[in-house]
Amino acid sequence: MQAFAFEPCELPPGADALRTEVRAFLDAEAADILVPARARSWVGFDAEFSRKLGDRGWLGMTWPEPWGQDRSALERYVVIEELLAAGAPVAAHWIAERQSGPLILRFGTDEQRAQLLPGIAAGETYFCIGMSEPDSGSDLASIRSKAEPAEVGGEKGWVVNGRKVWTTYAQHSHYMIALLRTGEAGENRHGGTTQFVIDLATPGVTVQPIRNMIGDEEFNEVTFDDVFVPAGMLVGEEGNGWRQVTAELSFERSGPDRFLSAFALLKALVHVAGENPSDMAAAAIGRLHAHLTTLRAMSLSVAAQLDAGAEPALEAAFVKDLGVMFEQSIPEIAHQVIGASPRIDHGDDFEQVLAYVQQACVSFSLRGGTTEIMRGVIARGLGLR
């Protein structure tokens, strides 16, 4: 008997109408975005665009009232896959809406919900994730940044010291959800960590952008030097950080962002290949299309399982691993089929998109869990080790 299941997913009634609405919105609000910028999609930061999505009710739409509209995860799926396929700039609200909001909703207090969720749903409050540290990458359980109980000016809380790295858009975020050490790890190494919401405007927080190899400033180093965090900002249970983070990562690992990050390049490839492609180009496009169709069906199946309250961690790992391999194969195939040598200043759309994706795609198999970690998760799920 197989350890995994991908039951087919039917989109709910109304999904078609919603899709039409989103496309009309994109025609109106995103028509002017140039093709090379579309390749960046979910690293494209545009607060105004996020606010417009909030106005339409498309952020936090699955959350219960009064925070959201109680719509299904599959309706949200339709919205985000349309945004990503169009290459709309969704980075500002992306992490807050995908991960932080659902985490606060599930594990947070009523006060945290009331304070934080309305801003996320409005597209105005942005979050970053504080997991990795300089000495803790894939080995997340080894984190050392710590929170210690303290009382400052009569207020109970925690004092945080340490450093987080690879923190995407910390320089534009209002809050970080940080995984911090609050106790001993214990024998399974998974104990003693706790999640906190940290207001990045608090004294003692320093955000230093780390320029990436493409020349962009997306990720950051965030240093905490005796930063006071009020007691009410602890998320969930003290010491339960590992389990909360694991649940959170299923959302990060199976969405359409896991196979649409290089969609702009596939589209550009189809465009350049033309109406009468060479045999080689036709075969390459056909193969990529078959992969994309299959990945989307798998990703939708995981979305339906998440919607039904299941925890499909193994299935999500498959989507991430296969999705990343697919995305990384696109520049490879583009080189084989078209043979362009991309210029990054004045190249045509195809050249610029290829140049960007070629460089960016090495990060696809690192973020949200490396390929090696994903495959370890899969192997464990298969009953190995």
Partner 1 sequence: MNEERIMIAETCERLFAAHLDAEVFRTAEAGRFPHGLWDAITENGLDRILVPEAQGGSGLGWEDAHVVLLAAGRHAAPVPLAEAIAAGGLLGQLPDGIVTLGTSGADPEMVRVPWGRDAGHMLVSDADDGLRCVSLDGAAITRDRNIGRDPRDGVVVEGLVTGNMGVDQVHAAGALVRSCQMAGAVSAVLDLCVTYTNERVQFGRPIGRFQAIQQQLAVMAGEAAAAGVAARAACRMVDAGGNIIAAAATAKIRTGEAAGKAANIAHQVHGAIGFTDEYRLHHLTRRLWAWRSEFGAESNWAGLLGRLVAARGADKLWPDLTDG
CA separation for the pair 190, 235 (Å, rounded): 17
Max Cα-Cα span within the chain: 74
Residue from the set 63, 259, 318, 356 that interacts with partner 1 by CB under 8 A: 318
Residue from the set 141, 235, 266, 306 that interacts with partner 1 by CB under 8 A: 266
By the rule CB under 8 A, 188 interacts with partner 1: no
Q: Cβ closer to partner 1: 1 or 201?
A: 1
* C-beta separation of 239 from 193 below 8 A: yes
Beta-bridge mates of residue 48: none
Phi, psi of 228 (to 5 degrees): -85, 130
| Site for partner 1, residues 5 to 34, rule: CB under 8 A | 6-8, 16, 19
By the rule CB under 8 A, 327 interacts with partner 1: no
Residue from the set 110, 187, 279, 345 that interacts with partner 1 by CB under 8 A: 279
- Per-residue x/- track, 75-94, partner 1 (CB under 8 A): ------x---xx--------
Pairing mode of beta strands 175-181, 127-130? parallel
Residue from the set 251, 263, 356, 364 that interacts with partner 1 by CB under 8 A: 263
For residue 228, which amino acid is it? F
What are the distances in angstroms from CA 87 to CA 31, 83, 150, 383? Answer: 11, 6, 45, 39
By the rule CB under 8 A, 114 interacts with partner 1: no
**Judged by CB under 8 A, which stretch of 89-97, 212-220, 247-255, 267-275 contacts partner 1?**
267-275
Residue from the set 289, 310, 336, 343 that interacts with partner 1 by CB under 8 A: 289
CA separation for the pair 54, 338 (Å, rounded): 40
Q: CA nearest 327: which of 360, 299, 302, 301?
A: 360
CA separation for the pair 23, 142 (Å, rounded): 44
**Judged by CB under 8 A, which stretch of 42-50, 142-150, 214-222, 259-267 contacts partner 1?**
259-267
Residue from the set 96, 284, 303, 304 that interacts with partner 1 by CB under 8 A: 284
For residue 147, which amino acid is it? A
* C-beta separation of 278 from 102 below 8 A: no
Pairing mode of beta strands 193-199, 175-181? antiparallel
Residue from the set 290, 308, 310, 362 that interacts with partner 1 by CB under 8 A: 290
Q: Would you tell me which residues interact with partner 1 (CB under 8 A)?
A: 2, 4, 6-8, 16, 19, 81, 85-86, 263, 266-268, 270-271, 273-277, 279, 281-287, 289-298, 301, 315, 318, 321-322, 372, 374-376, 378-379, 382-385
